[in-house]
């Protein structure tokens, strides 16, 4: 059984949806002839033709706006942002048009806007961002961040089938580093459900995206000292699995919130507030956050290494929290 990489899983997911539903189509920069900057859409033009795999001008606002228009007419567009960083160029169309149509006039906008986010590839400030929170902050949207190949495929399908606009952030660092054996059936991963990656009893580490692997590696180290981490992978940020979060906190009574996104306005702040509001009496220690600092993503390797949360950060904070 060959292993499927995370990026291939996304490609398969989109491909399979396009096969079974001819309302689904792809548009974006370099998605057709080139097969996508990261080859997510490789082979699709040949298979589905130029009216379902559309190479566009450099026009993120145009791309998303056109997707919205097509979706209003009943199509199911999958719009690619070549790097998630560029999604800011389409901010208005996403947050003011797509997100508010149903609320205002009952018109659903079933678009998917997807793109590679995250750092660790020497990409610098404009090719490494984690822009998820701008959209988590916008009611009417859904936001997902898969961390495994299985989830990447299952969530892209859920996103395409969802009647509301879904922003799908795929972590570029994981594209080829993460692989697994995928089932051959038509499986989906529901939006809004977390997954426990490691059961543990001492401290809950709640995280998503590439940081899931940082948490798991830290858990292996801490095991040797008798510290048993539980790792909860959120998978979806909007909606998110509040039940799973609270359940984990109630079980271990100590929690670390970990994300690659910067600190202020990051999802950890939201979770910390919710945990404090709804599980205060289950806390045996302060809620700890591990995030990137409040700076743009730097380029030079020592700077980027400083910026990104590391295994040693998780180990250090876990030890402190364990001893509290």
Partner 1 sequence: MAETKVIMPQMGESIFEGTITKWLKKKGERVERDEPLFEISTDKIDTEIPAPAAGVLQDILVKEGQTVQINTVVAVIGDGSTKPAAEGAKEPTQPEPPKEVKGPAPVAGPTAEAEKTSPEPAARSRPSPSEEEIRSSPLVRRIAKEHNIDLSALAGKGTGIDGRITKTDILSYIEQPGKAAPAAPRKPEEPARGPKAPPVPPTPAPMKFTGDVERVPLTAMRKAIAEHMVMSRKTSAHVTTFFEVDCSRILKAKEKQQAEFERSSARLTVTPFFVQAAANALKRFPVVNSSLEGDTIVYKRPINIGIAVNLEWGLIVPVIKNADEKNLFGLAKALNELGDRARNKKLTPDDVKDGTFTITNPGQYGGLIGTPIINQPQVAIMGMGGIKKRAVVIDDAIAIRPIIVLSLSFDHRVIDGATADQFMADVQKQLENWTV
Partner 2 sequence: MKSNTLTRDAAPVSLPPEKTVLDMLYYMKLTRELESRIERKLYRQGKIVGGVYVGRGQEAIAVGSCIDTRPDDIVCPSHRDMGAYLIRGMSLRTILAQYMARKTGATRGKDGNMHMGDLSKGLIAFVSMLGDNVPVATGIGLSFKMRGQDRAALCFFGDGATSRGDWHEGINMASVFKVPVVFICNNNQYAYSTPLERQMAVENVADRAEAYGMPGEIVDGNDILAVWDAATRAIRRARSGGGPTLIECKTFRMTGHSAHDDAGYVPPELFEFWEERDPISRFERFLTQRGFIDKSGIGELQQRINHEIDEAIQIAEKDPFPEPEDCLKDVYFESPTEQ
Q: Build a one-symbol-per-residue string for 199-228: x at contacts with partner 1 by CB under 8 A, - elsewhere.
A: ---------------------x--xxxxx-
Binding partner 1 (rule: CB under 8 A), the pick from 88, 124, 164, 282 is 282
Residue 306 structure tokens: 């400083």
Residues 88-117 that bind partner 2 (CB under 8 A): 92-93, 96-97, 100-108
Query: Per-residue b/e over 27-37, b at no fewer than 16 CB within 10 Å?
Result: bbbbbbeebbb
301 contacts which partner out of partner 1, partner 2, none, CB within 5 to 8 A by kind?
none
Residue 181, SS3 per DSSP: coil
Binding partner 2 (rule: CB under 8 A), the pick from 66, 112, 255, 315 is 66
163 contacts which partner out of partner 2, partner 1, none, CB within 5 to 8 A by kind?
partner 2
- Are 138 and 167 spatial neighbours (Cβ–Cβ below 8 Å)? no
Which residue stretch of 4-12, 42-50, 230-238, 279-287 sits at the interface with partner 1 (rule: CB under 8 A)? 279-287
Nearer to partner 2, 10 or 54 (CB): 54
93 contacts which partner out of partner 2, partner 1, none, CB within 5 to 8 A by kind?
partner 2
Neighbours of 120 (CB within 10 A): 18
Residues 273-312 that bind partner 2 (CB under 8 A): none
Q: Tell me how far apart the alpha carbons of residues 317 and 323 are, in angstroms, rounded to a whole number.
A: 10
Q: Tell me how far apart the alpha carbons of residues 181 and 250 are, in angstroms, rounded to a whole number.
A: 33
Q: Where are the alpha helices (DSSP H) in the chain?
A: 6-20, 44-48, 60-72, 91-92, 101-105, 132-136, 149-161, 211-223, 242-252, 267-279, 301-307, 311-323
Asked if 70 is part of the footprint of partner 2 (rule: CB under 8 A), the reply reads yes
DSSP of 60-96, one letter per residue?
HHHHHHHHHHHHHTT-EEEEEPSSGGGGGGGHHIIII
Nearer to partner 1, 193 or 310 (CB): 310
Q: Build a one-symbol-per-residue string for 27-56: x at contacts with partner 2 by CB under 8 A, - elsewhere.
A: ------------------------xx-x-x
Q: Tell me how far apart the alpha carbons of residues 308 and 148 are, in angstroms, rounded to a whole number.
A: 20
Which residue stretch of 29-37, 63-71, 298-306, 315-323 sits at the interface with partner 1 (rule: CB under 8 A)? 315-323
CA torsion sign for 101, 103, 107, 113 is: positive
137 tagged catalytic: no
Say if strands 166-171 and 142-144 run parallel, antiparallel, or are unpaired: parallel
65 contacts which partner out of partner 2, partner 1, none, CB within 5 to 8 A by kind?
partner 2
Instruction: Name the residues annotated as catalytic.
Output: 127
Site residues for partner 2 per CB under 8 A? 25, 51-52, 54, 56-57, 59, 61-75, 77, 92-93, 96-97, 100-108, 139-140, 142, 162-164
Site residues for partner 1 per CB under 8 A? 220, 223-227, 253, 280-285, 319, 322-324
């Amino acid at each position: 059984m060959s292993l499927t990489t995370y990026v291939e899983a996304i490609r398969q997911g989109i491909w399979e949806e396009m096969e079974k539903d001819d309302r689904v189509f792809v548009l974006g920069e370099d998605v057709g002839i080139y097969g996508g900057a990261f080859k997510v859409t490789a082979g699709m033009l040949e298979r589905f033709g130029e009216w379902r795999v559309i190479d566009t001008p450099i026009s993120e606002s145009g791309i998303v706006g056109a997707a919205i228009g097509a979706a209003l007419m009943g199509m199911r567009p999958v719009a690619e942002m070549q790097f998630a960083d560029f999604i800011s160029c389409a901010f208005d169309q996403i947050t003011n048009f797509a997100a508010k149509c149903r609320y205002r006039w009952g018109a659903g906008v079933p678009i998917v806007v997807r793109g590679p986010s995250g750092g660790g590839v020497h990409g610098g400030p404009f090719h490494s961002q984690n822009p998820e929170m701008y959209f988590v902050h916008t009611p009417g949207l859904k936001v997902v961040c898969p961390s495994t190949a299985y989830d990447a495929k299952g969530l892209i399908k859920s996103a395409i089938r969802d009647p509301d606009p879904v922003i799908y952030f795929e972590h570029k660092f994981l594209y080829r580093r993460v692989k697994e054996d995928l089932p051959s059936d038509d499986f989906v991963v529901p939006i809004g459900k977390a997954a426990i990656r490691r059961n543990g009893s001492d401290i809950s580490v709640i995280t998503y995206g590439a940081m899931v692997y940082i948490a798991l590696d830290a858990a292996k180290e801490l095991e040797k000292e008798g510290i048993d981490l539980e790792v909860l992978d959120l998978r979806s940020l909007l909606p998110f699995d509040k039940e799973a979060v609270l359940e984990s906190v109630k079980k271990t009574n100590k929690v670390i919130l970990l994300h690659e996104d910067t600190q202020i306005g990051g999802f950890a702040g939201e979770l910390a507030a919710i945990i404090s509001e709804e599980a205060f009496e289950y806390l045996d220690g302060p809620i700890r956050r591990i995030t990137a600092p409040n700076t743009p993503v730097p380029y030079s390797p020592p700077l980027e290494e400083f910026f990104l949360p590391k295994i040693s950060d998780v180990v250090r904070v876990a030890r402190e929290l364990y001893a509290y």
